[in-house]
Amino acid sequence: MNNDNEDMNQNYNNYNNGISEIKEEDINYNENDEKEKEKLNTDNNINNENNNNIEIINTDSTNNNINKIPKKKRRERSKIIRDVITSMVLCNNVTPTENGYQASSPDEVALVQFAKSLNMELTHRSDKTIELKDAAENIENFDVLANFPFSSDTKRMGIILRNKKYGHIIFYLKGAENVMMNFVKKEYVGYIKENTENLATKGLRTLVLTQKLISEKEFDIWFN
């Protein structure tokens, strides 16, 4: 983390204005892929639509229909960095106090303090709500819907939050890389393995942080 501190600061400065909330369009998921395919025209024009970072191209030339959905574009690095820092602030058991931060693990406090140095500050936490101040000094509020404490057996912890302003439900999960590789998409496993091994050879400890936007329906089915 120390070696990447300077790069992270540079990327973070790119979006100090307007960093506030995690917006739905910033998070990649494939929920509407099939719906979008059904909406394609069959005329002689090429129609480019962007919905949830998916580009849909339709053409009907020489009686040949081609419906093509390319791979999703890579997200901007600044947005990825923002989400990582946000997860550091939210996915933990750290509580702000008058004298700083309090938690059962000093590692958790270190992550929250590092996020604060990048202008993402945890300002309040209770069993039901979390509040943070972002780089633009906007206050973001979250309802805690579920909490999954860390244990030596699972080697991971998670939390499900609802963004009060936008209503998004986000599941944050973090843990050891050998555990987390079972919870990410297959295309990310090699990336995680390679990078964590490279960091380990430098004597650094590693932690994998993830997030997933879940629908109200998915949450209700799980919760009930």
3-state SS, residue 186 = helix
The answer to whether residues 16 and 62 belong to one domain is no
The answer to whether residues 44 and 126 belong to one domain is no
Q: Express each pLDDT in 57-88 by its tens digit.
A: 333 434 444 344 445 567 788 888 999 999 99
Determine the pLDDT at residue 194.
Answer: 95
**Residue 122 pLDDT more than 80?**
yes
The answer to whether residues 18 and 108 belong to one domain is yes
Distance CA 120, CA 86 (A): 7
The answer to whether residues 112 and 211 belong to one domain is yes
Averaged pLDDT of the chain: 77
More confident residue, 145 or 69: 145
- Number of domain units in the chain: 2
CATH code (residue 112): 3.40.1110.10
- How many other C-beta atoms are found inside a 10 Å radius of the C-beta of residue 115? 23
Q: Express each pLDDT in 91-110 by its tens digit.
A: 999 999 999 999 989 999 99
The answer to whether residues 43 and 90 belong to one domain is no
Domain that holds residue 60: 33-68
Please tell me the pTM assigned to this model: 0.68
Cβ-Cβ contacts under 8 Å for 133 (sequence gap 6 or more):
120, 121, 123, 139, 140
**Residue 196 pLDDT more than 90?**
yes
CA-based end-to-end distance of the chain: 40
Lowest mean pLDDT among 45-59, 133-147, 149-163: 45-59
Within-domain flag for 16: yes
Within-domain flag for 159: yes
Q: What's the mean pLDDT in 100-128?
A: 95
**Residue 11 pLDDT more than 70?**
no
Q: Express each pLDDT in 12-63 by its tens digit.
A: 444 343 333 444 444 443 444 444 444 433 333 333 333 344 333 333 434 4
Within-domain flag for 126: yes
What's the angle, vertex CA 88, arms to CA 216 and CA 157, rounded to 5? Answer: 65
Within-domain flag for 27: no
